[in-house]
Amino acid sequence: MNVFNFNAGPSALPKAVLEKAQSELLNFKGTGMSVMELSHRSKEYEAVHQSAIDLLKELLRIPDNYQVLFLQGGASLQFSMLPLQFLKEGKIGNYILTGVWSEKALKEAKLIGETQIAASTKESNYTSIPEFSDLSFNKNDAYVHVTSNNTIYGTQWAEFPDITHAPLIADMSSDILSRPLDIEKFGLIYAGAQKNLGPSGVTVAIIRDDLLAENVEHVPTMLRYQTHAESNSLYHTPPTFAIYMLNEVLSWVKDQGGVEAIEKINKQKAKLIYDAIDESEGFYTGHAVKEARSLMNITFNLPSEEQNKVFLAKAKELGFVGLNGHRSVGGCRASTYNAVPLEACIALSDFMNSFRKL
């Protein structure tokens, strides 16, 4: 059966990566073992580990004064880990709310220290991204936190504010590696891998060296960024297979022409589906305002909930997977991450156009 995978995460992986992993599954690099069976201290695995770090630095043009860390616990653990490091007495964790995940990040920070909401679009049901002019800062901000892309509501920051008084920290779980980034705008970027980087199980953090110099003696050892930076993310057994897959995905991105080429294709994919929405004469209604639309998660509704159900049932029959909206908001959602091929988006656009004419 031909399947078009639009799952929001864990999501599609490049077919070429899956095929290579399959071919190496029982005998990695002549070891006679799967990469999952290798010691994380072996030279074969350490080569994979370092390659993944080096490729990410190359693809995102990460400056030398930043470290790449491989962590666990997903972005959800980062919601606690970062305020534990930086939200000290007399400091404020400043959060820009653009969806459920930024709300969850704020909730965890509140358990640790003082927080503030720099701006929020909750009153409009998160259909947009705040204007830079609406952001409210404090001289005592420990950091300013932003969620770059919002999987549930389908909005995305097109540009990021220039923050100079405190580090800008970003959860980029759902759009990292989908477009070029000015890394130097950020003190810390973190991302669960299961959207654009690889399978679930590994979390990438990109952290500036000066933030690693913070006094964190009060923080449990495993929850310190310093611990993982000092050991090249080998302080304890890392998720070796997930990092192996991450390395292969990064190699695939490089083979496609790098992040710039990936962004170009992502724009083509998203345009196909947004055009089907915009040209439907109101049959499909996008959730996000046009200027805030995500290139990764395209959210929309049909005229009624009953028609949503019929659409999703028919789509499933035809091999479209993962088009249901998040359980908290309903509707429909197409997640067009890097590994989703252009052909899948053409097929979905064609289906949407034919369905509304039934």
- Angle in degrees, 0-180, between the axes of helices 240-255 and 15-24, rounded to the nearest 10: 130
In the residue annotation, 171 being an active-site residue is answered as yes
Strands 92-97 and 141-147, sheet pairing: parallel
pLDDT of res. 330: 81
The helix, strand and coil proportions of the chain, stated in percent and rounded to the nearest 5, come to 40, 15, 45
The C-alpha R_g of the chain, in whole angstroms, comes to: 21
Given the residues 171, 175, 252, 269, the one annotated as active site:
171
State the pTM of this model: 0.97
For the stretch 321-333, pLDDT in tens is 999 998 778 899 9
Strands 149-150 and 155-156, sheet pairing: antiparallel
For the stretch 162-217, pLDDT in tens is 999 999 999 999 999 999 999 999 999 999 999 999 999 999 999 999 999 989 99
C-beta separation of 103 from 173 below 8 A: no
C-beta separation of 150 from 99 below 8 A: yes
pLDDT of res. 2: 82
Domains and CATH numbers, the chain: 15-255 (3.40.640.10), 258-355 (3.90.1150.10)
Coil, strand or helix at 201: coil
**Contacts (Cβ under 8 Å, ≥6 apart) of 38:** 28, 31, 44, 45, 240
d(CA 269, CA 272): 5
CA nearest to 92, candidates 67, 117, 72, 70:
117
C-beta separation of 14 from 339 below 8 A: yes
CA nearest to 197, candidates 238, 233, 246:
246
Given the residues 101, 157, 252, 269, the one annotated as active site:
101
C-beta separation of 247 from 55 below 8 A: yes
With 80 as the cut, is the pLDDT of residue 1 above it?
no
d(CA 197, CA 86): 26
For the stretch 49-108, pLDDT in tens is 999 999 999 999 999 999 999 999 999 999 999 999 999 999 999 999 999 999 999 999
Given the residues 141, 157, 175, 195, the one annotated as active site:
195
For the stretch 192-206, pLDDT in tens is 999 999 999 999 999
Coil, strand or helix at 324: strand
